[in-house]
Chain A
């Protein structure tokens, strides 16, 4: 925890601008589909599960558990990459576990969203930290 990761500015496109704009307000959005009543990640306008275009964003609780992770030891600043399964959904997202002891992570561990600032002024990335 001595050195912090430096995160690049988000790459914003028209389809996901709403997601990135929300991060500036500290809001983490997940995309849902009304037709098949399910969540997906990363967000798309057309549901990858059922093909419906009746999709919408909803704020997520930010709670989750680690599905899998790995600590990259051969980086200038070692970091933990992970898939976190989001509470109340069957979906997992790629993220980093931050502000943690890199040697004491485990699959199944409860984590909480903690936005990380990027080099861009204002935008943030959805990262997680142990509860």
Chain B
């Protein structure tokens, strides 16, 4: 059994806020849900499946179903950090295929800016019951230096340069200039990136994503419902999900979980990377993009630096337009979880609803790729292949 063709993304909404001092977390979830349902032409009373992850308050789906007044027959709170929402799309398709629900709502929201969180530079202690914590937390692993160690090893092993990584930010900035909601709208150069302050060698400030409040939501529906709505049809063709970890100490920082989930998703969809017109690639840092592009098969392992250079990721310029909303690097990284916005921009592209300056002509096949957790230690990877029907 395959989920290819079993479900469609009928609604997508990205909250316009980037700093939500005056809103509660639950309120942000509800505003995102309302936005996505209105986008689909549905109401909350149509929803019979609900999905959320670790950003949800309280008891997750229980607290938010209560708050939003949802009457449900299917819930799922799979938590893999920022990639959770791509996995939710796949799980929603599975549930729909099995008849467990017909209209699945997925929400994400967070307010790390309003709460003054030191997102990338302070160690996060997940509690001493996490078996890794006693052996890692005392050494001050933070988000930035974990990803930095991957970049350092990639440079050592393959000759990747800071200038090549910088091209990823440059491409994102070219797209963000057209997005009025983007946090960073100024076009930057390779020199701007490599001359920005060093955060954790070899990652500079402009190699890092933004920190933003906000959120997003998706509505995944059964085929007959999708076809009854007055929206372009965005079909889920393939999906992959897997964790990548430290393998008992046999550590290899040169690849991501996309090496597992990319081939699985492409096989289920029956397409290849060469068929892809647009790519949403999780961009917590520039190195995250580079490694996932290699692992998805857009270029050979170690060739990512050459692949991303010279504007190859800029829409209308290069071979693989990516993150045309400006991505996490320039637009939005709500709740420090970038998977949701990856799916949303892929849906915009497939509908032809991206900004005209970045819309990919005849965009009928897209990939959305997410990682969540920490690239160096343990992360969840998820890949979705989406098609406009």
Q: Of the candidates A13, A42, A67, A74, which one forms a contact with B128 in the assembled complex, judged by CB atoms under 8 Å apart?
A: A13
Which interface residue of A39, A44, A89, A93 has the most chain B CB atoms within 10 A?
A93
A122 part of interface (Cβ distance < 8 Å): no
Instruction: Report the Cα distance A96→B153, complex, angstroms.
Output: 16
CB distance from B78 to the nearest CB of A (A): 23
B199 x A92 contact (CB < 8 A): no
Q: Whose C-beta in chain A lies nearest to the C-beta of B245? A: A48
* Min C-beta distance of B142 to chain A, whole Å: 7
Give 26 pairs: A residue, B residue, CB < 8 Å, sorted on A: A5-B140, A8-B137, A8-B138, A10-B134, A12-B134, A15-B131, A39-B249, A40-B248, A40-B249, A67-B253, A68-B149, A68-B150, A70-B148, A70-B149, A71-B201, A72-B140, A73-B201, A75-B121, A81-B145, A81-B146, A81-B149, A83-B149, A83-B253, A91-B251, A94-B141, A96-B139
> Which A residues are closer than 8 A to B by beta carbons?
5, 7-8, 10-13, 15-16, 20, 39-42, 44, 47-49, 67-75, 79, 81-83, 89-96, 107-108, 118, 125, 127
Q: Hey, which bits of chain B sit against chain A, CB under 8 A?
A: 121, 128-129, 131-142, 144-146, 148-150, 152-153, 156, 197-203, 247-251, 253, 376-377
B153 adjacent to A91 (CB under 8 Å):
no
User: Please, which residue of chain B has its CB at the minimum distance from the CB of A71?
Assistant: B201
Contact of A96 among B135, B140, B251, B377 (CB under 8 A): B140
Given contacts A70-B152, A91-B250, 17 further A-B contacts (CB under 8 A): A11-B134, A40-B248, A41-B135, A42-B135, A42-B136, A47-B248, A67-B251, A68-B153, A72-B142, A73-B198, A81-B146, A90-B250, A92-B250, A95-B139, A107-B153, A118-B138, A127-B139
Cα–Cα distance between A16 and B149 once the two chains are bound (Å): 27
Specify the chain B residue showing the minimal Cβ separation from A30: B249
**A72 with B145: CB separation less than 8 A:** yes
Cα A13 to Cα B68 with chains together (Å) = 41
Complex CA–CA separation, A7 to B54 (angstroms): 29
What A residues does B145 contact at CB under 8 A? 70, 72, 81
Q: Which residues of A contact B148 (CB under 8 A)?
A: 70
What residue of chain B has the Cβ atom nearest to residue A93's Cβ?
B249
- The CB with the most chain B CB atoms within 10 A, among A10, A89, A118, is that of A10
Give the residues in chain B near A41, CB-CB below 8 Å: 135, 248-249
Cβ of B197: which chain A residues have Cβ within 8 Å of it? 73
Which of B133, B152, B197, B376 is packed against the most chain A CB atoms within 10 Å?
A: B152
A74 CB contact (under 8 Å) in B121, B135, B377: B121
Give the complex CA separation of A96 and B199 in angstroms.
17
Closest to B151 in A: A70
- How many angstroms between the C-alpha atoms of A70 and B247 in the bound complex? 21
A70-B201, A91-B248 given; A13·B144 CB < 8 A: no
CB pair A69–B121 under 8 Å, yes or no, is no
Which one of B128, B156, B251 lies within 8 Å of A83 (CB-CB)? Answer: B251
